[in-house]
Amino acid sequence: MPVELTLHKASAEVARGDLASVLRARQRLIGLVTSFPHRLDLRDHLARVYRVLGDAAQAGRWSYLSEDRDEAEVAAFERAYRTPTARLAALNWTGGEQAAGTRTARERLVALHGAANAQLREELLVADDRDSSWVANALVLLGLVVVLLCFVVGAVTIVMSAYRWLTG
């Protein structure tokens, strides 16, 4: 079904106002945003549906890149998705910032990518500090040697037992 026809059907369903119709409109728009993630107008339509449903976090999610957005909804989105990497994943944006249709969307994507990169750098620094203990590495190596030794002793024991049984 063409995008404009799907948008028209979704708008008519939202205008009906009953919960079942609004939920169908939401499903249609989710499908469109999944198929056309760079279309900011589709994201705006989906945000409007979530406003009708009273879900501020999802309305903030889908209007995050918009020129006009409600800062209370954006704050709800940021509370629901606490880290920049979680927010970036939730936006479901594919491609780079240059694929965004507006300067505002590009700027917000650049800022979010920068925050996500900073978060990942911090996590890597913490991970490096935790994994650098030579005592832990020596204990792991010792454990592996013991397991290998037990395996070799067990294998030799089985072979010797089988040899004795076969020779009588």
Among the CATH numbers 2.60.40, 3.30.70, 2.60.120, 1.25.40, which is that of 3-132?
Answer: 1.25.40
Overall pTM surpassing 0.75 (yes/no): no
- Tell me what pLDDT residue 130 has: 59
Cα–Cα distance for residue pair 53/153, rounded to 1 Å: 67
Domain boundaries, the chain: 3-132
SS (H, E, C) 9-46: HHHHHHHHCCHHHHHHHHHHHHHHHHHCCCCHHHHHHH
- Tell me what pLDDT residue 97 has: 77
Cα–Cα distance for residue pair 48/7, rounded to 1 Å: 12
- What is the token pair recorded at 2? 């063409």
Cα–Cα distance for residue pair 72/56, rounded to 1 Å: 8
Residue 34: exposed, middle, or buried by beta-carbon count in 10 A (0-12, 13-18, 19+)?
Answer: exposed
- 149: region left, alpha or beta (phi > 0 left; psi from -120 to 50 alpha): alpha
List all residues 6 or more positions away from 157 whose beta carbon is below 8 Å from its beta carbon: none
- What is the token pair recorded at 128? 């490096």
Banded model confidence at residue 1, pLDDT cuts 50, 70, 90:
low
The pLDDT tens digits for 152-163 are 999 999 999 999
- Tell me what pLDDT residue 137 has: 82
- Tell me what pLDDT residue 3 has: 86
The CA-to-CA distance between both ends of the chain, in Å, stands at 80
Contact 22, 52 (CB under 8 A): yes
pLDDT > 70? residue 127: no
Contact 92, 63 (CB under 8 A): no
